[in-house]
Structure 1
Amino acid sequence: MTVSWRAYRSARRRSRQAWVLLAVLTLAAAGSAGWFFTAGQFAAAEPAIAGPSEAPVFDGTWMKPVVPVHTVPQGSALDALEGLPVKGRAPKDNYQREAFGQAWLDVDRNGCDTRNDILRRDLTAVGFTEGSKCRVASGAIQEPYTGKAVEFRRGAESSKEIQIDHVVALGDAWQKGAQGLNSQQRQSLANDPLNLIAADGPANQQKSASDAATWLPKNKNFRCHYVARQISVKASYELWVTQPEKDAMKRVLDSCPDQPTISAR
């Protein structure tokens, strides 16, 4: 009789455990179904960004090349990355934008300032302000960092929608070798078409002075070109990378090992 009672209690315990497990599985299934029919189905169906995979660099019909410290090494971006020194950041407390010269000079002496040169290079259907062959008033762009199609209109507020980004941010450059350049070389770095891209204003503000370890374009199709362009600029202006930055660049280039360096020639 004792054995039967123990068997009975054991059977009841197993039965309760089975019912608890069944209840948990039912609740989990209901939760998953609820997520799918509210947000999940839309997240699953969200398309990948189909933005551009590269950006313009140089148009020799009206732009003149800026003289860098060195020519960009030809070959793969991975090989060029291996050639960059790896060091820690130098102090930034003495950084001033003026160390790179006045913003948007006409460094190539083609008659137009750098900002308008880059807008003209990167936009399509470009319109100029009345009486000017330099001052860009309107245009369109398939913006590379977000992949969005953007209409540019010059104005006190609307101009902010498209900004000119330094691919290697000047603050980052200052901490990684630019302090050792002379004033003319820093001025070239700040105005070199290789280091400039017309970009989405909010994305540019979010990037700020970040390197590849802390910020990459949302448009993944563009990351190989973006990282190769950063490497090319750093090689051309004797700048270094930190170890986390190098690791981040290598992760990007692992998906495109044949990505070449980028040149403004």
Structure 2
Amino acid sequence: MSSCRRQRPTLRSGWARLQQGGTPMTTVNGKIALITGASSGIGAATATRLAEAGVTVGLAARRTDRLDALKADIAERGGNALAIEMDVVDPASVEAGVRALVDACGSIDILVNNAGLMPLSDIDQFKTDEWHRMVDVNVKGLLNTTAAVLPQMIRQHAGHIFNTSSIAGRKIFKGLSVYCATKHAVTAFSDGLRMEVGQKHNIRVTCIQPGAVATELYDRITDPGYRKQMDDLARQMTFLQGADIAATILFALQAPGHVNVAELFVLPTEQGW
């Protein structure tokens, strides 16, 4: 890890162009963010986008080689990042990572709960190890990270938590029963968290619900039939990229202070389901 330094923003938000009546957008320059699942996909793209906007980003994941490479890339672009080895399934690892970021930077203003798994299979294939792993990462991991960061935000009386759910947190799909269950849990927890900490502690909560996004999630699919379905789907329509979700997160983050963008359902234009 390295020391924190403040950045100058280089991006303008849609709020800067849309704001009316003199309502200021939320300034993100100089804020501190913790992003889980930052070694690839949406997490890495979000880290890059927030760093460009002047946010110091704590990059949390297990693959430290990926984090070090991303940290170097962000530094080359003029941003600031800290690599934090973290396994969201392990509460002790999460607590240590959060403590290290707070010690280095003094606060955590933004939490992006992004770590997740999606190994598709039918229930009667009984891939129970995959079921439990999804529950551990997608649900318990999110709870572990939220529990570790929330006390700091409460002390600050400020913060913004982003939870990555999915279209599977709103709908049910064959082969995705357990994954859907975990993402429905994320969606429900997000809304409950918003109601409990918003007014009381001045903490905003946003649930991001992407449709088809080109990420490494599909590499975890061990069922050959479902893996072929996803490969075929990718040839039939243009998937979203991690950068598209990163831009969505920045949009919600820069909303004026009195605005909580509670849910964002983001799909490819060609996605008809």
TM-score, normalized by length of structure 2? 0.27
State the structure with more CA Rg: 1
Q: Which has the higher contact order (CA 8 A, sep 6+)?
A: 1
